Every structure is written in structure tokens, then in C-alpha cells.
């Protein structure tokens, strides 16, 4: 509305455009084009997103409409907003701000109740020949109590298709929900599940039963296995690791013997081998490196350094993999029993 008014005034060459004004100074003269702008706005008439906008002489919009909303709480889906009434400037309030609630004013009213057999909520009672079919069950007891408190009577019948209600391809509903939507019944009572689709078309009472599906399984017997520390690796992996230790030990022993022969002071023919050049010492050094404990060794040759460096890298990878698999094995519960 304001943009249209400015556009119309800018086309009018007689209109005084807005000059530089300072509202903080009392000596500032008022804008001469202001009253003309207000008059143009009041005479304007446009249709926007909120409807028709048309101002009266006093500056009020004569086409104001409001929807008065109220919130109702549902235990299943939380708060729900519903329209209670409307208000417009001509007719005023249209509707009631209070929700319609059934109280003690239903005496003499006969309700049509549709139901579906579902034990133990709705069941067929022992019928007497020549009399209407009688029903019993938890939901029937609730219905009888409500009828006694509110003073109404009811006629109950079973739904023809034997379904609770689901939307069809053409937009209609079948079952109990279809009976309510088609105004053939006033109340539907059975073990009907509250779903969002159904709650969009009918009103439900507060739920009185929560029900879910579960699976029963036999309890596993906890067995203590003293070899559980070996579980992260397969038996073949442990066998390869056990075989790699003496193989690498023999290789280190041979390299040390070759190094001692080439040294300046080799051991004599009757002189026992030193600790660093014996076979037991080589095996011990290799085993100490595998368990990350180390050992006294003087590796002066390049061949020994390459061999031991490769062995250290191998042991680092094996120990890291073992630690990760052991943590996963001890923390993850394995369900070996099948569902019975």
C-alpha cells in the first residue's frame, strides 16, 4: 500500500517531494507533502496476502478479519491448535471461545455406537432369542459408565467390513473411521490404535492402554574361558607368530656370527661364544622386541639394523591389532543363540 502510494505521488508533478528533514530540531518545518501522502494511502485499495486492504476516513481498515485459535492437549501427539471462532470489523465475534464439552446435558439423547469385536475390549455376551445382541468387555463397561453419568442411551452395532479404518485411494475411509466420517455413527468404540492420519479426521479420547510387541529369548549362559585372551587372533595367526620368533632369531644369530668373524678380535677356537653372539641370546632379543621389552644388543652392522628394524615394525603392527581386537571382543556382546 505504501509503495503504491509513493508511486502514484511521484507521477504527480504537483506533489512536493520530501526534502531533507531533521526530526530532532523543533524549528524544522513540517513536510508539506505528508498530508497529501496520507490522503493517497487512505484512498488506495489493494488486495494483498491478508485480503482486501481499504482504509476508512478515520484510518481503520474496513476489511480486517481474525481467526481466534485455541490449543488443546493430546497425550499422544502433544499440543494441537484448532480454530474456535472468527472476528471481523462488520459482524464482530462469530463463534464461541469455549470448546464444546459433553457434560450433564445429554439426557434423552440416543447415540449410535459402532464397534468391532476385539477381546477383552468388546465381546459378544450371551444373547437371548428375540432380543438385540448384547456385548460385554472393558470398552463396553466404560461406555455403560459414561451413559449412566451423562444420561444418554445408545444403540450399538458391528461395522460391516470388520476393519478399524484406513484411507482409500479415492480419499474416503473404511471401517470404524468411515462410519464416523459418513455420519452413520456418533461414537466408535473398540481397541482402535491412535495414529496421526486417523487423528486428523476424527477425535480420540485419552489413551488407556500402551501396547507393544516384544521378542522372548532364552538367557545365555555365561561361560568362563581361560583362553579368551587368545580370541582376538585365529589359531593360524598365533602359529605364524610363534614360528616367526625362532626364524628371526636364527637370522639374527647368523648375522651376529658373521659380524664377529669379520671383527678384529674374533673368538678363539676353544673360547666360548659371548652372550651377544649365542643362539639363546638372539632368541631372547627377538622375543623381547616382540613383547616390547627390549634387550641388550649391539647392532653395528647395517644388515642387523635392517633386520631388527623390520621386526620392530612387524611387532608394532601385531600388538596394535591385538589391542584393538581385544577391546572390541571384551566390550561387544555376542548373541550366539537363535530366536526360538
* 239 within 8 A of 261, measured Cβ to Cβ: no
Domain coverage including residue 85: 65-93
* 40 within 8 A of 3, measured Cβ to Cβ: no
* 331 within 8 A of 304, measured Cβ to Cβ: no
Query: Are residues 72 and 58 part of one domain?
Result: no
Joined grid coordinates for residue 324 = 584393538
- The confidence score (pLDDT) of residue 273 equals 46
Query: Are residues 167 and 74 part of one domain?
Result: no
- The confidence score (pLDDT) of residue 275 equals 42
Query: Are residues 179 and 150 part of one domain?
Result: yes
- The confidence score (pLDDT) of residue 45 equals 80
With cell 428375540, the residue in question is: 130
Joined grid coordinates for residue 200 = 486428523
Query: Are residues 69 and 56 part of one domain?
Result: no
Annotation-wise, does 193 bind a ligand?
A: yes
Low-confidence ranges of the chain (pLDDT < 50): 76-77, 104, 271-275
Is residue 81 a part of any domain in this protein? Answer: yes
Q: How far is CA 233 from CA 222, 254, 322, in A?
A: 21, 31, 7
d(CA 232, CA 255): 34
Q: How far is CA 19 from CA 23, 24, 30, in A?
A: 12, 15, 10
d(CA 226, CA 257): 41
- The confidence score (pLDDT) of residue 274 equals 47
Annotation-wise, does 218 bind a ligand?
A: no
* 282 within 8 A of 250, measured Cβ to Cβ: yes
Of 84, 82, 44, whose CA–CA distance to 63 is shortest? 44
- The confidence score (pLDDT) of residue 15 equals 67
Query: Are residues 133 and 156 part of one domain?
Result: yes
- The confidence score (pLDDT) of residue 317 equals 86
Buried b (16+ CB within 10 A) or exposed e, 136-166: ebbbbeebeebbeeeebebebebbeeeebbe
d(CA 283, CA 285): 5
pTM for the structure as a whole? 0.38
Query: Are residues 311 and 243 part of one domain?
Result: yes
* 194 within 8 A of 207, measured Cβ to Cβ: yes
With 0-12 / 13-18 / 19 or more C-beta atoms within 10 angstroms meaning exposed / middle / buried, residue 335 is: exposed
Is residue 126 a part of any domain in this protein? Answer: yes
Query: Are residues 245 and 283 part of one domain?
Result: yes
Q: Give 294's contacts (C-beta < 8 A, 6+ positions apart).
A: 288
Of 302, 296, 270, whose CA–CA distance to 282 is shortest? 296
d(CA 16, CA 40): 13
Query: Are residues 120 and 80 part of one domain?
Result: no
Q: Over the stretch 116-138, which tens digit does the pLDDT of each residue have? A: 998 888 888 876 665 667 888 88
Of 23, 56, 19, whose CA–CA distance to 39 is shortest? 56
Is residue 155 a part of any domain in this protein? Answer: yes
- The confidence score (pLDDT) of residue 268 equals 52
How many structural domains compose the chain?
Answer: 4
Q: How far is CA 17 from the centre of its chain?
A: 58
Query: Are residues 116 and 83 part of one domain?
Result: no
Amino acid at each position: 500500500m505504501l509503495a503504491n502510494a509513493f508511486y502514484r505521488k511521484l507521477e504527480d508533478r504537483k506533489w512536493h517531494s520530501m526534502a531533507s528533514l531533521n526530526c530532532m530540531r523543533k524549528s524544522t518545518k513540517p513536510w508539506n507533502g505528508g498530508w497529501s501522502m496520507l490522503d493517497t494511502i487512505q484512498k488506495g485499495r489493494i488486495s494483498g496476502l491478508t485480503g482486501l486492504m481499504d482504509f476508512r476516513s478515520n484510518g481503520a481498515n474496513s476489511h480486517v478479519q481474525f481467526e481466534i485459535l485455541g490449543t488443546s492437549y493430546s497425550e499422544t501427539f502433544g499440543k494441537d491448535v484448532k480454530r474456535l471462532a472468527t472476528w471481523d470489523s462488520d459482524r464482530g465475534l462469530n463463534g464461541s471461545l469455549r470448546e464444546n464439552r459433553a457434560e450433564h446435558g445429554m439426557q434423552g439423547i440416543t447415540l449410535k455406537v459402532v464397534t468391532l469385536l476385539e477381546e477383552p475390549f468388546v465381546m459378544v455376551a450371551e444373547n437371548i432369542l428375540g432380543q438385540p445382541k448384547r456385548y460385554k468387555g472393558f470398552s463396553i463397561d466404560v461406555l455403560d459408565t459414561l451413559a449412566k453419568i451423562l444420561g444418554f442411551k445408545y444403540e450399538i452395532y458391528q461395522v460391516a467390513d470388520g476393519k478399524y479404518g484406513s484411507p482409500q485411494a479415492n480419499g474416503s475411509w473404511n471401517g470404524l473411521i468411515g462410519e464416523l466420517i459418513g455420519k452413520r455413527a456418533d461414537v466408535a468404540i473398540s481397541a482402535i490404535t491412535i495414529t496421526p492420519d486417523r487423528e486428523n479426521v476424527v477425535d480420540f479420547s485419552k489413551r488407556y492402554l500402551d501396547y507393544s510387541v516384544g521378542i522372548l529369548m532364552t538367557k545365555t549362559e555365561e561361560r568362563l574361558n581361560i583362553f579368551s585372551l587368545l580370541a582376538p587372533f585365529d589359531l593360524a595367526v598365533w602359529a605364524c607368530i610363534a614360528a616367526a620368533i625362532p626364524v628371526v632369531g636364527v637370522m639374527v644369530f647368523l648375522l651376529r656370527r658373521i659380524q664377529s668373524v669379520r671383527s678384529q678380535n674374533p673368538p678363539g677356537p676353544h673360547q666360548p661364544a659371548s652372550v651377544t653372539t649365542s643362539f639363546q641370546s638372539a632368541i631372547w632379543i627377538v622375543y623381547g622386541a616382540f613383547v616390547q621389552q627390549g634387550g641388550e644388543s649391539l647392532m653395528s652392522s647395517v644388515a642387523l639394523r635392517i633386520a631388527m628394524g623390520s621386526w620392530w615394525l612387524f611387532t608394532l603392527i601385531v600388538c596394535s591389532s591385538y589391542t584393538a581386537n581385544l577391546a572390541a571382543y571384551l566390550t561387544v556382546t555376542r548373541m550366539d543363540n537363535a530366536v526360538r
